[in-house]
Structure 1
Amino acid sequence: MEVLIAILIIAVLIMLSAFFSGGELALMSLDLVSLEDRANSGDRIAQMQLTMRRRPQRTLGTILIGNNIVNIIAPTFATLTAQKHLAPLQGIGEHATLISTIAMIVLVTIFGELVPKTFAAVRGQRVAKLVTPPLYILDMLLLPANWLLEAVLSPLIRWLTGGRTNVEQRIGPGELRAVLTAAMAGGHVNKQDVAIAREAIQMSHRDLEDVMTPRVEIEALPVTATVGEAMHLMDSTGHSRIPLYEESVDNITGVLILKDLVHVSLRAAVGGLDPGDRWASEPAVTYRREVLHYPGTKGILETMSEMNRNRVHLVVVVDEHGGTDGIATLEDIIEELIGDIRDETDTEHHADIVRIGEGFMLITGRARIDSIDMLDGVDTTELDSNSVGGLMMEKLDRAVVAGDVLELPGLKLTALKVIGNTVKLIRVEEVGEEETESE
């Protein structure tokens, strides 16, 4: 009977060793973002887990103290038991200590370390949920011991880590993309969400100059323009935002929003005024909204955050001399993330690039040069614009009109539709080198 009780005690001690070993791996592998979501929704277990994860040094100290106590008591008790009950046996008694030591090494390694840690690696959430309440209570009970342990170890840790005591977990864009792909393969997120997340990762490395409308494509009005002139330009170009400038486009001072002008027009009509007469002749600057000025190297995510905070609809991208390099709207930035947005002025929706046959394609003037395979050989280092419409304007060195042709090595670009100063639609055609030279 005494031997059975001793075996039972040893089994309990090994189970406690498994509890600490598996609990450590399960707790430390929990995802912090998921924990925060569950904790904020009122999950008490998740709240305890989040508290323990946010103080890893103290949590690991508690597990270390508990596990060491168990792993010291277990072999000691096993050795004393073996010496007591194996000593009378002929030929075995003198090796009782060695036998108990070998037996405990095997038992603790297999059942106290390998098995629980393997199970925790596969069923981490389940194990963490089971071990959290008792570990949380033990953490509170061992608080004085943890304070003492931290007081002794903190100076050593600071010296070894150069003053850093918090563990920083960093993940690069490549690893994050791999996680997204794995999540989609596992059915946890859909393809569209993954595509948006990948674009967001890419956006973190993109600047305003990547999304701006270049200077040569800007449709703007002087501050002396009337409301009627602004409405006419908005109607003819399809733009819902028109910049206002003083003296030249290098000094953009504000922006007109179609919605504002429509509201004022309606109020004028209700008030008995003739919108086509008195209201239309009002100075457009009366309804001017603020714009922000940023260099082209400013990140688009940071820009979007500041535009939202300041309730600004348009930013002016300035060059190193303070002149206007281009403009960007909040819509331009968001379209980089989720694709084209149709606003109240959009009557049709087209892809930027449409292949119409072998060696032929139709593209919008705003299409980026680097997004079109047929334009891979075009040298853009000397260009101010990154769009195909801007390319035509700069190469022709004048405003483009419908029917204009730009010849490049092996290519012919024809402007099919031009509104104001904006090239809307272009046909790109592959031609032989001899043909472009003869023409």
Structure 2
Amino acid sequence: MNDISNGALLWALFGLIIISAMFSSSETGMMSINRYRLRHQAKQKHKGARRVLSMLERPDRLLGLILIGNNLVNIMASSIATVLSLRVFGDYGIAVATFGLTFFLLIFAEVTPKTFAALYPERVAFPMSVLLKPLMVVFYPAVWLVNFLSNGLLRLFGIKNSDDNDEHLSSEELRSVVHDAGKMIPRRHQDMLLSILDLEKVTVEDIMVPRSEIIGFDVNEEWKVLSRQLISTSHTKVLLYRDTVDDAVGFVHSRDALRLLAKGEFEKESMLRAVRPLYYIPEGTPLNVQLLKFQRNKERIGLVVDEYGDIQGLVTLEDILEEIVGDFTTTVSMAPSEEIELQDDGSYLVDATANIRDLNKELNWSLPTDGPKTLNGLILEYLEDIPDSHISLRIGDYTIEILEVADNMVKQVRMLTRPSKKRLL
């Protein structure tokens, strides 16, 4: 280099630092780019996305190429900086070159470009892929050798380099992605997506209409009484049974009743012939599974049975859909549900037959849901006895005063939440 002027060496050094910055930024940009957005852009025939995606199929080769280029450039820059420093500073040139070049490389070829690439990976990865693609062909023998040696070392530690680099998200990770989407997904849509993910955690027992609240008609009643009940009911489908719900006959659709009425054939015998077969659902069935079963079997309503075949409740397709989109209503109302009544002192009068999950959702509470499904069941499990009225207990952060007990169950309670530390500040 003695024949090369200091100016030429200085320009060469600046050029090498710029090239080093390009390699450093491409490494960070390629590795930090959003793979899901990249796949979407590739499906939309984005040329840059397709190039980057093809190179990321073998990240070991991509990293090998970038590191070979970066190290070659840095070593050449170090040699030129040493020659320049020796010419200018004499014996102190080596120290000046070491510390000076380290500072310049750190600021201009490492931290700054990598920070920019981390913030805007697509702006770096797409244009750099145009340069890296042909370099991969030129330096392929060197890249292959480096990958062969590095992968061999990894195998010594029991680590295998697989060609399958597909990233799979668990439901919890996908839930975090939806949460982090922010303004990209409207809040209402986020809630629906999260509700769909929660379907696998919720069973039919959590949303079913309890056996005691199933509305049905006894076919052993006189026809005048039964026909009046069928005509006046507000339900689309009604359960018919003999004496008790355990001896269920089937569901009758109001449309079938009207059709028989129009034909003048509205009699008990013709009504029983129009009854639709019962569809049974095992308790403990997750909602996502039951939703698919409803679709597969072309059903919209079913009776939940336990392991002994006893009827425990009733579930409809609408009940599952409400878990996703919220309660169906024809008028917008901000009033609380009929099971909850807010008092002036901040406490709540609650119907003890209310579902615990519904209470948690409506009032943003955190009552335990891994045991009984209703508030009455939770209180009975906690006390291990049927309590008397005006007994108070505490479950977690909730003080519960029992106001009414009847028919071997708690009917109504007053609930007060313990103030959190945030409220006390």
Question: TM-score, normalising length from structure 2?
Answer: 0.66
Which residue matches 1:132?
A: 129
Q: Distance in 2 between matches of 1:52 and 1:234?
A: 68
Give secondary structure in 1 for the equivalent of 2:19.
helix
Which residue matches 1:33?
A: 36
Which residue matches 1:116?
A: 113
Check the 8 A contact 2:301/2:315 in 1, yes or no: yes
Which residue matches 1:62?
A: 65
Q: CA deviation at 1:116?
A: 0.4
Q: Distance in 2 between matches of 1:44 and 1:97?
A: 46
Query: Are 2:188 and 1:192 equivalent residues in the alignment?
Result: yes
Q: CA deviation at 1:16?
A: 1.8
Distance verdict in 2 for CA 1:55–1:266, change over 3 Å: farther
1:154-212 CA deviation, whole Å, 9 max, x = no partner?
Answer: 454355466585596767849955x666654xx44433334434444544433332222
Query: Are 2:271 and 1:281 equivalent residues in the alignment?
Result: yes
Which residue matches 1:327?
A: 314
Query: Are 2:326 and 1:339 equivalent residues in the alignment?
Result: yes
Q: Distance in 1 between matches of 2:269 and 2:143?
A: 76
Distance verdict in 2 for CA 1:109–1:278, change over 3 Å: same
Q: Distance in 2 between matches of 1:316 and 1:147?
A: 64
Distance verdict in 2 for CA 1:95–1:408, change over 3 Å: same
Check the 8 A contact 1:230/1:242 in 2, yes or no: no
AA aligned to 1:115 is T
Which residue matches 2:337?
A: 351
Query: Are 2:90 and 1:82 equivalent residues in the alignment?
Result: no
Q: Distance in 2 between matches of 1:219 and 1:411?
A: 28
Q: Distance in 1 between matches of 2:104 and 2:142?
A: 28
Check the 8 A contact 2:280/2:305 in 1, yes or no: no
Q: Distance in 2 between matches of 1:330 and 1:82?
A: 79
Query: Are 2:15 and 1:18 equivalent residues in the alignment?
Result: no
Q: Distance in 2 between matches of 1:137 and 1:250?
A: 75
Distance verdict in 2 for CA 1:74–1:309, change over 3 Å: farther
Check the 8 A contact 2:348/2:414 in 1, yes or no: no
Give secondary structure in 2 for the equivalent of 1:276.
coil
Check the 8 A contact 1:362/1:428 in 2, yes or no: yes
Distance verdict in 2 for CA 1:159–1:357, change over 3 Å: same
Q: CA deviation at 1:114?
A: 0.8
Query: Are 2:218 and 1:216 equivalent residues in the alignment?
Result: no
Distance verdict in 2 for CA 1:380–1:22, change over 3 Å: closer
Query: Are 2:290 and 1:293 equivalent residues in the alignment?
Result: no
Q: Distance in 2 between matches of 1:248 and 1:151?
A: 75
Q: Distance in 2 between matches of 1:427 and 1:204?
A: 31
1:56-88 CA deviation, whole Å, 9 max, x = no partner?
Answer: 333333322332332233323444x438xx45x
Distance verdict in 2 for CA 1:102–1:338, change over 3 Å: same
Q: Distance in 1 between matches of 2:92 and 2:41?
A: 54
1:354-400 CA deviation, whole Å, 9 max, x = no partner?
Answer: 526448978789731465599x9x999996x63779999xxxxxxxx
Distance verdict in 2 for CA 1:357–1:106, change over 3 Å: closer
Q: Paired residues, what number?
A: 381
Q: Distance in 2 between matches of 1:65 and 1:97?
A: 25
- Which of the numbers 40, 45, 55 marks the counterpart of 1:42? 45
Q: CA deviation at 1:98?
A: 4.4
Q: CA deviation at 1:340?
A: 0.5
Q: Distance in 1 between matches of 2:153 and 2:242?
A: 64
Once the two structures are overlaid, the 10-residue window that deviates more, 301-310 or 29-38, is 301-310
Give secondary structure in 1 for the equivalent of 2:212.
helix
Check the 8 A contact 2:25/2:117 in 1, yes or no: yes
Matches within 5 A, 1:97-176: 97-139=94-136, 141-143=138-140, 145-158=142-155, 160=157, 165=162, 173=172, 176=175
Check the 8 A contact 1:291/1:313 in 2, yes or no: no
Once the two structures are overlaid, the 10-residue window that deviates more, 331-340 or 46-55, is 46-55
1:249-275 CA deviation, whole Å, 9 max, x = no partner?
Answer: 66879766x4xx63x678889xx9446
Identity %: 27
AA aligned to 2:12 is I
Check the 8 A contact 2:352/2:412 in 1, yes or no: no
Gaps of 5+ in 1: 344-348, 393-405, 416-425, 432-439
AA aligned to 1:355 is E
Check the 8 A contact 2:238/2:251 in 1, yes or no: yes
Check the 8 A contact 1:251/1:323 in 2, yes or no: no
Distance verdict in 2 for CA 1:231–1:167, change over 3 Å: farther
AA aligned to 2:103 is V
AA aligned to 1:338 is V
Q: CA deviation at 1:103?
A: 3.2
Give secondary structure in 1 for the equivalent of 2:319.
helix
AA aligned to 2:28 is L
AA aligned to 1:351 is S
AA aligned to 2:51 is M
Give secondary structure in 1 for the equivalent of 2:201.
coil
Q: CA deviation at 1:115?
A: 0.9
Q: CA deviation at 1:14?
A: 1.6
Q: CA deviation at 1:235?
A: 5.7
